[in-house]
Structure 1
């Protein structure tokens, strides 16, 4: 009888210890899992402008959670939105004052050229944003195909933005004040686009 009681106590103690071990293991796993904000911060370290990346994407943490694909998609959305805003800003600067002829716009040729390349950039970023929604399951040929399209278009958008900056630097006919304002806007767009491309490239070959 005493042996049976002792055996029951041993079994109960063993089960208790196993339960405690599993509970601690689960707690430790949860403790070490980064928060969505920490995930974004860590992911942004792989970009060229990590502080810009973290600042522009931190508000997306609830929807991104721990998904590299959702993070890249959010980065594309940010880039497309800022490119559209910059294009509208450049368009206003390149428009002639009220009552003046179209040729008397404040921008000059460089700014009008910049507006054209920005329009291309906006279009490519929009297409990339839509393409991300069609990628399907990772590891499939469909995923690789759409990912390749996104990489190509985002890279081309970044080239457009760089071309715009170069044209502003080389053309002194455009007003200095207007050039400085546009340059600041385009630099911001180019940085978030560069970060978006890095996060998209990070999806390549991930399991």
Structure 2
């Protein structure tokens, strides 16, 4: 009982610390969060966009460039995590031949997608340091490569469309890949918006 009371007291202390920190946050934070929310209203998955990017509002501020870079970084992190999960799945025991083949194919698509996202991140930084035709050329590369990631995730999901593949593993892989597809779709929309700047 004493241990439970101590736990509750320490939990309340931590909770009140976060409440006070939030209250003491700079006045501009709500403005930055509103910028993220309004930007996310134009993407295909707005709720996911806000959920994945609002935590970075103080870094993004009101910069379309920083918003696009952050969205791309989130996509890369989710893709990397999903790729690791799919790689571990190839080692599961008792996989049927078709399941193993679908997982291996998906792993290849995720590897390709990761490569495209990593290239896109570097290219986006080059675009930020350029102007005019150079800016448009770098942004065109980013748009092409991020679009290719959407093709990769779609190909992976197609591999799991068969009714012959079923079960928790299929559901787990599909849900992770679908999340990568959705955050990447959002990132592309924000990249397109940044690319269209005057």
TM over 0.5: yes
Do 1:135 and 1:147's aligned partners in 2 also have CA atoms closer than 8 Å? yes
Query: Which ranges of structure 1 fall in alignment gaps of 5 or more residues?
Result: 1-30
Do 1:68 and 1:203's aligned partners in 2 also have CA atoms closer than 8 Å? yes
Determine if the alignment matches structure 1 residue 189 to structure 2 residue 185.
no
Shift of 1:105: 8.0
1:111 to 103, 111, 119: 103
CA distance in 2, matches of 1:125, 1:107: 27
Shift of 1:171: 6.5
1:125 to 117, 123, 148: 117
Q: How many residues align?
A: 170
TM-score (structure 2 length as normaliser)? 0.79
Do 1:64 and 1:71's aligned partners in 2 also have CA atoms closer than 8 Å? yes
Q: Which has the larger radius of gyration?
A: 1
Shift of 1:204: 2.7
Q: SS of 2:181's equivalent?
A: helix
TM-score (structure 1 length as normaliser)? 0.76
CA distance in 2, matches of 1:109, 1:171: 15
Do 1:96 and 1:105's aligned partners in 2 also have CA atoms closer than 8 Å? no
Cα 1:95–1:107 change in 2 (3 A) is: farther
CA distance in 1, matches of 2:81, 2:97: 20
2:155 to 160, 163, 185: 163
1:140 to 132, 140, 147: 132
Do 2:120 and 2:146's aligned partners in 1 also have CA atoms closer than 8 Å? yes
1:124-169 CA-to-partner distances (Å, cap 9, x unmatched) read 0111011111114565111111100000000000110011001111
